[in-house]
Amino acid sequence: MTEDIFRKRPILGNRILTPIKDNVSESRPVVETKSPTTQTNSNLEISGNFQNSNDQDISNMNSNLASSLDTLQNLIDSESKTTEVEQTSTVVQPTPVPTPTPIVKKASPPGDSSVGNTFFRFPSVSPPFGGNIHSLRWTGNKYTFIEAAGSTSDYVRFNNWHLHGATVWIGTSATGAVDRVGIDPASGVTGLIPQATKQIAELIRSTKEITGGKTTDPDGRPYQFAVVTVLGGQDHRAICESIESGDVNTMFRPVFNELGLKTISLKSALYNSMGELFALEVSFLSKHELGSGRHLIFLHKANDIGGGKSDESLTEGRLAGQVASLSREFDWWINGLERGGGKIGSIETTLGGTARIGRYALLASCIPRSLFASDAFEVINLDSAEWVKENLSSQIHEYRSNFATTLLRTVWGKAGERMSDIPVVLVNRFDRSMVRTRRVRSNIAILRHMFLGNPALDLLQGDISDERIAIQREEAITDNKFLTIHDRVKDEKNGPWQQQRRIRLSSCVALTPNKVLTLAQGNDPSMANDLAQAILERVRGLATSQNGALPSGGFTVVDALVPSSLLNKPGTTITKNIVIQAAEAIAVGLRSVGVDKPLVNLYRVPESLSSEIEDVIIQFSEDQPGTNVLIVSTDDVDTHSKRVIMSNPELKAIDNATVSTVYSFGRLLRRMVTAHLMSGYHHCIEDGHLIHAFHRHYYGGNYGHRPNFLVGGTDRIRKKKDE
């Protein structure tokens, strides 16, 4: 390897040229250069290399550099002289120096074009994944992503998402997520999106009817409403795929035409931190008919797949995370209601795990009791006890244990404390006529808050205060110590648990104008008795399949929903007096079958809420002690039937046929207690102690035998003589 065969050539950096100022000398400063040094240890071999000619190279380099600098200086001098001549001859306005604009990083450029189909629009790029919730601000069919990195209230105000009312649906049965999109004579339409848009459209038309054609509130804001749904992961995925599919036009156009919503537009509005859609913004092109409001349909995803009917999934310990995620999404419509002064008309739930997560999320979001309307209620969709025995015989133990734990959490547990005095209404989930009835009642509860005192919402008999005070009076009269659950141990560390909410078993019937007239005139005395007997068997059959097992409740509310179109129809036989007489005849029939106190209320339903109703709807709601409902439902199965879990093999060498048996229902219920205590979420753990207290009423310390006391109170004896 040769050494010292090269020398390193100097590297000259580029100089920055600055304009010459007046007070700066134009003389060129002396430039000092350093001589290059020889480079040693080079491994490059180049022929003709003269290692000893250092002085000559340095001289040549310096002369070349001086020549270049002289040329550059001459150019600068000539340019400055030319500029001075031009300034003395003409006055030229100085040109502004452009300043660089800062580059702002955005999730998507403003005004991105969207994709979608006839009714639904979505962003053309995937929503941001991770971080905060993102909202979309739409201008026509173009959108801008906005990251919600601050207070939710600020972003609700920015998007003008104030709400005057909302309805909450939690679970598969309540939302109708698995129902095929279509038209149904009983409920009007089927499917989650059609039912939600129907609910919103009816509220819009009702406000316009009540206010005489106005579509804005006294503050000049458009009336806006929301439908809040909580879905399992599988249902959420199915809904999102259905609205993005190519056959949306074929599937939804007949439904929207039936609802009179030919110009509806649904656009994605909110995406959670995982980039999943959880809200649609609903608007209508016919502003003169349906206003310019921007309504919302929330599609909250509760979990990965589904909640499941059993509480077993609580052992996974994911409840706290699921609840925290949901409560952050709930903040959007809670802030919308607070900004718009709106109220929640009703909550519809089920027995499934999605409903369980949804209730705990309502607790975690600290939803105030004041956000519920005065006439608000919660509906729990059930199967009739007879249907369960016939169609779910292999799962009857699981169904009854889930029924008990759901009722305990909702009425006596932490959810009951937060939503105290809001009644819990048990209904048959397959009765679509009841779906229509309870949603009309929910809309009336919202409208009463918005337009209290408006004649369009007055009762046909009495006033609203009479109705509310009568129910409060009967609840106070029927209150007793047997509604409280105690933990039957010597040192009662937990409890007692008061029944925070009243339980009502409900169903409805539609009476044609001819039948209403027959009841009012008394032409068929047995009609009222038969009607009362049939309806009571139906509502009590929600809790037990044994006829006569559930005694009469404290009182029964009879609500007659009379369409205004039926009362205002020319030449109609249905008048105010006729309806009053028919309702009183039904009350007499209820007394004849053992109801001590019927309460009759006559509702005038606005035309916008009853356009498809041509009959008088009678809703029966029997108030029942919660502990009685728990007892008859649980005893609908053999709680102490034994199940073989271990037996000896049948071999000649083994003559001991010893088997191991357990009370299958008792072990299942005890497993539900363990699941709540292992959930890791404080509200759920406290509910676990409540369920454990209920378990002790059926399985005592003496080998699991049933104790001689019943649920409710401290001295409620099951049998006069101990077993």
- Say how far apart CA 10 and CA 400 lie, in whole Å: 91
Q: What is the pLDDT of residue 421?
A: 92
- The H or E element containing residue 227 is strand 225-231
What is the rounded average pLDDT of the residues 177-198?
Answer: 93
Beta strands in 98-195 (DSSP E): 112-116, 120-123, 134-139, 142-147, 165-170, 182-184, 188-190
Whether the per-residue pLDDT at 448 is higher than 60: the answer is yes
Contact 685, 679 (CB under 8 A): yes
Handedness of CA 105, 110, 113, 117 (dihedral sign): positive
- Confidence at 61, pLDDT banded by 50, 70, 90: low
Domain count, the chain: 1
| For the chain, the helix, strand and coil percentages under 3-state DSSP, each to the nearest 5 | 40, 20, 40
At residue 388 the predicted structure's pLDDT band, cuts being 50, 70 and 90, is very high
Question: In sequence order, what are the beta bridge partners of 182?
Answer: 190
Write the CB contacts of 26 (distance below 8 Å, at least 6 apart in sequence): 20, 77, 80
Residue 74 confidence class, pLDDT cut points 50, 70, 90? low
Length of the chain: 723
Q: Please report which confidence band the pLDDT of residue 131 belongs to, taking 50, 70 and 90 as the band edges.
A: confident
Residue 156 falls inside a structural domain: yes
pLDDT band at 283 (very low <50, low <70, confident <90, very high): very high
DSSP 533-575: HHHHHHHHTTT-SSTT-S---SEEEEEEEEEHHHHHSTT-S--
Please report, as a single letter, which amino acid is at residue 291.
Answer: G
Q: What is the pLDDT of residue 571?
A: 83
Q: What is the mean pLDDT of residues 552-563?
A: 95
Is 711 a domain residue?
no
What pLDDT does residue 34 have?
52
pLDDT for 381 beyond 60 = yes
Model confidence at 85, pLDDT cuts 50, 70, 90, reads very low
- pLDDT(7) > 90: no
pLDDT over 80 at 187, yes or no = yes
Enumerate the β-bridge partners of residue 426. 380, 505
pLDDT band with cut points at 50, 70 and 90 for residue 111:
low
Q: Which helix (H) or strand (E) holds 343?
A: strand 343-349
| pLDDT at 570 exceeding the cut of 50 | yes
Answer whether residue 94 shows pLDDT above 50: no
Please tell me the distance from the alpha carbon of residue 600 to that of residue 588, in angstroms, as a whole number.
Answer: 11
Given this model, what pLDDT does residue 495 score?
Answer: 84
- Least-confidence region, from 27-36, 471-480, 510-519: 27-36
| Mean pLDDT, the chain, integer | 86
What is the C-alpha R_g of the chain? 38
Does 646 reside within a domain?
no
Has residue 678 been placed in a domain? no
Burial class of residue 609, CB neighbours in 10 A (0-12, 13-18, 19+) = buried
**Is 300 a residue whose pLDDT tops 90?**
yes
Report the C-alpha gap between 326 and 358 in whole angstroms: 8
Quick check: 116 pLDDT over 70?
yes
In this prediction, residue 97 has a pLDDT band, given cuts at 50, 70 and 90, of: very low
Q: What is residue 247's three-state secondary structure?
A: coil
What is the Cα 628 distance to its own chain's centre? Answer: 31
Structural domain boundaries enclosing 352:
110-367
Quick check: helix, strand or coil at residue 296?
strand
Residue 288 confidence (pLDDT) above 90: no
What is the 3-class SS of 4-23, one letter each residue?
A: CCEECCCCCCCCCCCCCCCC
> Between 615 and 50, whose confidence is greater?
615
- Compute the distance between CA of residue 143 and CA of residue 34 in angstroms, rounded to an integer: 62
322/302 Cα distance (integer angstroms)? 7
**Residues contacting 568, CB < 8 A, separation 6+:** none
Q: What distance lies between CA 289 and its chain's CA centroid? A: 28
| Structural domain contains residue 189 | yes
- Is 70 exceeded by the pLDDT of residue 19? no
DSSP-based three-state secondary structure for 429: coil
Mean pLDDT, residues 482-508: 93
- Partner residues linked to 216 by β-bridges: 222
Report yes or no on 225 lying in a domain. yes
140-168: pLDDT as tens digits:
889 999 999 999 999 999 999 999 999 99
Q: Is there a domain that residue 379 lies in?
A: no
Q: Are 631 and 641 in contact (CB under 8 A)?
A: no
Residue range 673-722, pLDDT digits in tens: 999 999 999 999 999 999 999 999 999 877 889 999 999 999 899 987 75
Query: Would residue 708 count as lying in a domain?
Result: no
pLDDT > 70? residue 28:
no
Q: Compute the average pLDDT of residues 527-548.
A: 95
Q: How large a percentage of the chain has pLDDT more than 70?
A: 83
Q: Specify the pTM.
A: 0.83
The SS3 call for residue 642 is strand
